Chain A
Amino acid sequence: MEKLLNELSSECQPAYGVECDVAINAQVPENLKRSIPLGLPNIAENDLLRHFTNLSRKNYALSTVFYPLGSCTMKYNPLINERIARNDAFNNVHPYQPIEAIQGVLEVMYELEKDLCEVAGMDTFSLQQAAGAHGELAGLLVIAKYFKSIKQKRRKIIVPDSAHGTNPASAAFAGFEIVLLKSEPDGSISLDKLKEVLTPEVAAMMLTVPNTLGVFEKNIDEISKLVHDNGSLLYYDGANLNAVMGIVRPGDMGFDVMHINLHKTFSTPHGCGGPGSGPIGVKSFLETFLPVPRVEKKKDKYVLNYKKSKSIGKLKAFFGNFPVILKAYAYVKALGGKGLKNVSEQAVLNANYMLAKFKDKINIPAGNICMHEFVLSPKTLFKNDIRTIDIAKRLLDYGYYAPTIYFPLIVDEAIMIEPTETESKETLDKFINVVNKIILEEFCRDPQKLKDAPINTPVRRLNEVEAARKPILKWE
């Protein structure tokens, strides 16, 4: 067990210190002065280094294990991108530097926007949003502003029940009412059910393609027509873009607004939860509503344009999560158009290879061909009170991060696997063997092993009920 920082604190020489070459002269009046203790720990640098290094070793990370986490696109994060992003010439830039002193930053943003347009088939992109959900919010605010501008009252957003939780949450956040659309068992959309909910009040429909079961929406043409004939717009959740780069473009499918998760498809790392980046792309008739500032090019110079009277405003301070944007651009420049297409082909090939190895043994609710990910429902195999959670925990014992479980919500006991294109056949084979071993052998022979799992991790199963009932959210 690693001590907490407050338990490590002692009266030693602390790790950091700075000197001051002018007289210390703080002059803080008593009524403004802090009177409670700071309560910060006092720890030497050597001990701090050990503490955080030891903590890091308690993580399963992409750099240590295979991470087949469905919907999260845990692909290899190229080291060169990190090296570029750690350059001081990018890091030590103040956002309010004069335009002529940040041309490098603006060039990266401008060029990435252009390349994203080409990948997505959209007319323009905004990079300001800090994450996928932030992108959804921005996209939905753009949609709201558009309808306001044409004086139509449309207050509803259609969200399929197979969608990510962020979809309905973002729509509610943006002030819309949610119309839940029941998906078919394979996650696809029934045109009849769609017609029933497509009322004149519908502003937009949010759709993930391929859907969260890894199936391409075969009726996309008809859906697009129905939605647009109704005067509504179509929103593309780009969480699964890794399946279709260079294969099919959201803009060509009829989507009007979309977001991309740069930390998924464009391989910028997840950083144990963030920062991410959620650029939004729109068709030209919506460009005027995008957040400010816009990066523009005038002759050979990049400029920032804040003067957009119809803009939805600002989604965060400054321009966006620049280091993430930079890494994504480096990724695009490594791959180019051809490379990006190869990425999607490989991602889909890897997923189908795994699916083929599982399909005779485990129930697959969405058919035998998938896109970049697929969902297993091992329920029919359950014995001895074993559940999906037990399989996930047992996989940790074998040195794998667990796939996404219990999502999408429309599949009982779901296990969602996304191998990504950057894993070798050998890695996939080993993982397939382990899953089969757990399900076909350990289920029957050694169910207790699954119930007891994990045993090889720094801690065993944790009591989440007590954690929530009697929350301890900081050290005492």
Chain B
Amino acid sequence: MDYTPQNQKDKKQMLESIGIGNIDELFKIIPNHLKAKDLNISGGKTEQELLKYFLNIASKNKKLISFRGAGIYDHFIPSLVGEIVGRSEFWTAYTPYQSEASQGTLQAVFEYQSLICALTGMDTSNASLYDGATATAEAVLLALRVSSKNRILISSGVHPEYIQTVKTYLENSKAKIEIISLSDNGRLDKNTVDSLIDNTTAAVVIQSPNYFGVVEDMDALSSSIKSKNSLFVAIVNPLSLGVFKAPGEYSADIAVGEGQVLGSSMSAGGATFGFMAVKKSLEWKMPGRIVGQTTDRDGRRGFVLTLQSREQHIRREKATSNICTNASLNALAACVFLSGWGNVGFSNLAEINISKARYAFTKIKSLDGFKAKFETETFFNEFVIETSKNIKKINKVLLKNNILGPLDLSNAGDSFKNCLLFCVTEQRDKAEIDSLVELLTKI
């Protein structure tokens, strides 16, 4: 199968039109000593063979009941999401540069931007970035750009892979990154943050709920950051905003996060999308595409890519980012996801996450050999449990029972030795949680 439709007769006619005898003549310009030998790549499979081949590979992944989160979550995806992102008019379309022929994509992105602004309480959203980690890195770069300062403070409650990504992105810049430690209750202490911010601090980056599941007091932290004239970059779980304070409420300057929870499957961690929403004053400095509303010649409403002079195809080395391809299809999934719950349904979804996690939390922490690490803190759908049992053994037993157990936090620093990060979403029913608890009692 190579998906080329031309037959021999076509090819012959085409060569004649060009005025050559065979295809090789088209490659005459390539020096002979550089010409490739036959590629040693197996293939040539028919559609039927391909399906068999890949079903076999797929069977080597284990289907598990997940109690693990840490950045990627097992959430329910309504059928409508699959139906819409599965429409070939969306998935086979290109970036909407020809606006008159791309109104479907453009309006959907405009709606996506509107929904992200509604959810985050921010003024302006872009059309998506690659993922939560790169969105965080782009937010830091944006802060450095507008502040002309060079110090970045990042909470150690930010996802470790996000921190690593920020470090990679800033490797050759003059910016300095410092990590703020969490206090013993699993979240940032306002006084610590206060004492660390100085007049060279471009931005403070805080995630809530943080990597350890704890919801930060963003309001209090924000007032510290604002009083020192630094920018506040908030990393949030968009689903949690159904109940928790929105970045716009606590005056964050830039809100970013991972959008996978809004209608994208886990897919081994990608493709997902990152969102970014900012205050109005930062919109011309934002990376990535932005769609705007306008009118056509007949006065009809229509949509176009706008503020384009920020972007690489125009400003080249002076662009706000090098990003071109983004994650439109996943953003479309989020748009479809966010438009079908209604306000009540969406907060309800968030409350169900908390309630199920609380149900599991209460049961697990009361087991022998297990206790809550942060007993009184508020969490969304993840929490840390400290255990006296052998963590490897716990997860081995759970895996045998087709359960993806909690994440072993022993690499997250000394204070998390013997700690487990559990995640319980609306996907887990009572029976599944009960059987997890039952298995834990037996270890």
Q: Which residues of A in the span 287-336 have a Cβ within 8 Å of any Cβ on B?
A: 291, 312-324, 326, 330, 332-336
Q: Are A63 and B92 in contact, CB atoms less than 8 angstroms apart?
A: yes
Q: Are A166 and B324 in contact, CB atoms less than 8 angstroms apart?
A: yes
CA distance A49 to B83 in the complex (A): 8
Q: Are A396 and B98 in contact, CB atoms less than 8 angstroms apart?
A: yes
Q: Which of B224-232, B301-309, B364-372 contacts A (4 or more CB under 8 A)?
A: B301-309
CA distance A272 to B295 in the complex (A): 22
B393 at the interface (CB under 8 A from A): no
Instruction: Tell me the minimal C-beta distance from B145 to chain A in angstroms.
Output: 12
**Known contacts being A14-B345, A34-B242, is A28 close to B354, with CB within 8 Å?**
yes
**Known contacts being A24-B351, A220-B34, A473-B124, is A169 close to B41, with CB within 8 Å?**
no
Residues of A within 8 A of B84 (CB): 49, 52-53, 56
B189 at the interface (CB under 8 A from A): no
CA distance A332 to B43 in the complex (A): 7
Residues of A within 8 A of B161 (CB): 314, 316-318
Please name the residue on chain A nearest to B58 by beta carbon.
A89
Please name the residue on chain A nearest to B265 by beta carbon.
A91
Residues of A within 8 A of B271 (CB): 130, 274-275, 321-324
Q: Which residues of B in the span 1-59 have a Cβ within 8 Å of any Cβ on A?
A: 1-6, 10-11, 13-15, 17-19, 23, 26-31, 34-36, 38-45, 47, 50-51, 53-55, 57-59
Q: Are A40 and B115 in contact, CB atoms less than 8 angstroms apart?
A: yes
Checking B87, B94, B245, B355 against A74 with a beta-carbon cut-off of 8 angstroms, the contacting residue is B94
Q: Which of A229-237, A340-348, A379-387 contacts B (4 or more CB under 8 A)?
A: A340-348
Q: Are A84 and B51 in contact, CB atoms less than 8 angstroms apart?
A: yes
Q: Are B121 and A64 in contact, CB atoms less than 8 angstroms apart?
A: no
Q: Are A464 and B306 in contact, CB atoms less than 8 angstroms apart?
A: yes
B80 at the interface (CB under 8 A from A): yes
**Known contacts being A26-B355, A336-B42, is A317 close to B92, with CB within 8 Å?**
no
CA distance A269 to B329 in the complex (A): 10
Cβ proximity bits B216-244 to A, threshold 8 Å, 1 near / 0 not: 01011000000000000000000001111
A201 at the interface (CB under 8 A from B): no
B251 at the interface (CB under 8 A from A): no
Cβ proximity bits A71-87 to B, threshold 8 Å, 1 near / 0 not: 01011111010111011
Q: Are A18 and B352 in contact, CB atoms less than 8 angstroms apart?
A: yes
**Known contacts being A27-B354, A35-B245, A275-B330, is A62 close to B378, with CB within 8 Å?**
no
Q: Are B246 and A273 in contact, CB atoms less than 8 angstroms apart?
A: no
Q: Are B130 and A131 in contact, CB atoms less than 8 angstroms apart?
A: yes
A447 at the interface (CB under 8 A from B): no
**Known contacts being A2-B107, A324-B271, is A333 close to B53, with CB within 8 Å?**
yes
Q: Are B17 and A353 in contact, CB atoms less than 8 angstroms apart?
A: yes
Residues of A within 8 A of B167 (CB): 313
> Total interface residues on B, using CB and 8 Å?
199
Checking B30, B269, B301, B354 against A322 with a beta-carbon cut-off of 8 angstroms, the contacting residue is B269
Q: Are B14 and A171 in contact, CB atoms less than 8 angstroms apart?
A: no
Residues of A within 8 A of B324 (CB): 131-133, 165-166
Please name the residue on chain A nearest to B82 by beta carbon.
A86
Q: Which residues of A in the span 26-66 have a Cβ within 8 Å of any Cβ on B?
A: 26-29, 31-43, 45, 48-49, 52-53, 55-64
Q: Are B134 and A252 in contact, CB atoms less than 8 angstroms apart?
A: no
A410 at the interface (CB under 8 A from B): no
A475 at the interface (CB under 8 A from B): yes
CA distance A37 to B249 in the complex (A): 11
A286 at the interface (CB under 8 A from B): no
Residues of A within 8 A of B114 (CB): 4-6, 474-475
CA distance A95 to B433 in the complex (A): 21
Checking A57, A92, A474 against B113 with a beta-carbon cut-off of 8 angstroms, the contacting residue is A474
Q: Are B29 and A218 in contact, CB atoms less than 8 angstroms apart?
A: yes
A365 at the interface (CB under 8 A from B): no
CA distance A402 to B108 in the complex (A): 21
Q: Which of A190-198, A242-250, A433-441 contacts B (4 or more CB under 8 A)?
A: A242-250
Checking A62, A107, A340, A352 against B60 with a beta-carbon cut-off of 8 angstroms, the contacting residue is A107
A356 at the interface (CB under 8 A from B): yes
Q: Are A108 and B57 in contact, CB atoms less than 8 angstroms apart?
A: yes
A104 at the interface (CB under 8 A from B): yes
Checking A90, A115, A273, A463 against B95 with a beta-carbon cut-off of 8 angstroms, the contacting residue is A273
**Known contacts being A26-B351, A42-B342, A130-B131, is A97 close to B404, with CB within 8 Å?**
yes
CA distance A75 to B132 in the complex (A): 30
Q: Are B4 and A421 in contact, CB atoms less than 8 angstroms apart?
A: yes
Q: Are B95 and A272 in contact, CB atoms less than 8 angstroms apart?
A: yes
A15 at the interface (CB under 8 A from B): yes
Instruction: Name which of B35, B95, B107 has the most chain A CB atoms within 10 A of its CB.
Output: B107
> Total interface residues on A, using CB and 8 Å?
201
CA distance A56 to B127 in the complex (A): 17
Checking B50, B244, B404 against A330 with a beta-carbon cut-off of 8 angstroms, the contacting residue is B50
**Known contacts being A5-B111, A40-B339, A133-B322, is A316 close to B134, with CB within 8 Å?**
yes
Please name the residue on chain B nearest to A54 by beta carbon.
B104
Please name the residue on chain B nearest to A367 by beta carbon.
B29
Residues of B within 8 A of A53 (CB): 84, 87
Q: Are A35 and B304 in contact, CB atoms less than 8 angstroms apart?
A: no
Cβ proximity bits A349-371 to B, threshold 8 Å, 1 near / 0 not: 11011011100000000000101
**Known contacts being A269-B91, A464-B306, A467-B292, is A424 close to B10, with CB within 8 Å?**
yes
Residues of B within 8 A of A424 (CB): 5-6, 10
Instruction: Name which of B57, B86, B108, B345 has the most chain A CB atoms within 10 A of its CB.
Output: B57
B346 at the interface (CB under 8 A from A): yes
Q: Are A168 and B51 in contact, CB atoms less than 8 angstroms apart?
A: no
CA distance A119 to B43 in the complex (A): 13
Q: Are B296 and A178 in contact, CB atoms less than 8 angstroms apart?
A: no
Cβ proximity bits A411-452 to B, threshold 8 Å, 1 near / 0 not: 000000000011111000000000000000000000000000
Residues of B within 8 A of A316 (CB): 130-131, 133-134, 161, 165, 270
CA distance A162 to B315 in the complex (A): 14
B156 at the interface (CB under 8 A from A): no
Instruction: Tell me the minimal C-beta distance from B191 to chain A in angstroms.
Output: 17
**Known contacts being A93-B268, A107-B57, A322-B268, is A473 close to B171, with CB within 8 Å?**
no
Q: Are A27 and B269 in contact, CB atoms less than 8 angstroms apart?
A: no
CA distance A350 to B40 in the complex (A): 25
A141 at the interface (CB under 8 A from B): yes
Residues of B within 8 A of A267 (CB): 3
Q: Are A402 and B98 in contact, CB atoms less than 8 angstroms apart?
A: yes
Instruction: Tell me the minimal C-beta distance from B218 to chain A in angstroms.
Output: 8
Q: Which residues of A in the span 141-195 have a Cβ within 8 Å of any Cβ on B?
A: 141, 144-145, 164-166, 168-176, 178
Selected A-B contacts with CB under 8 Å, 28 pairs:
A15-B339, A32-B245, A39-B119, A48-B339, A56-B89, A59-B102, A59-B103, A61-B89, A94-B72, A95-B266, A169-B322, A172-B322, A216-B30, A267-B3, A274-B128, A314-B165, A317-B131, A317-B132, A323-B271, A337-B43, A342-B2, A352-B18, A402-B98, A462-B303, A464-B99, A467-B306, A473-B283, A473-B292
Give 16 new A-B contacts, CB below 8 A, not counting A63-B89, A471-B306: A4-B110, A26-B354, A38-B119, A77-B92, A86-B82, A97-B64, A102-B268, A165-B311, A339-B2, A349-B23, A352-B18, A353-B14, A423-B5, A454-B101, A457-B101, A464-B99
Q: Which 4 A-B pairs have the closest CB atoms?
A: A336-B43, A318-B269, A175-B172, A337-B39
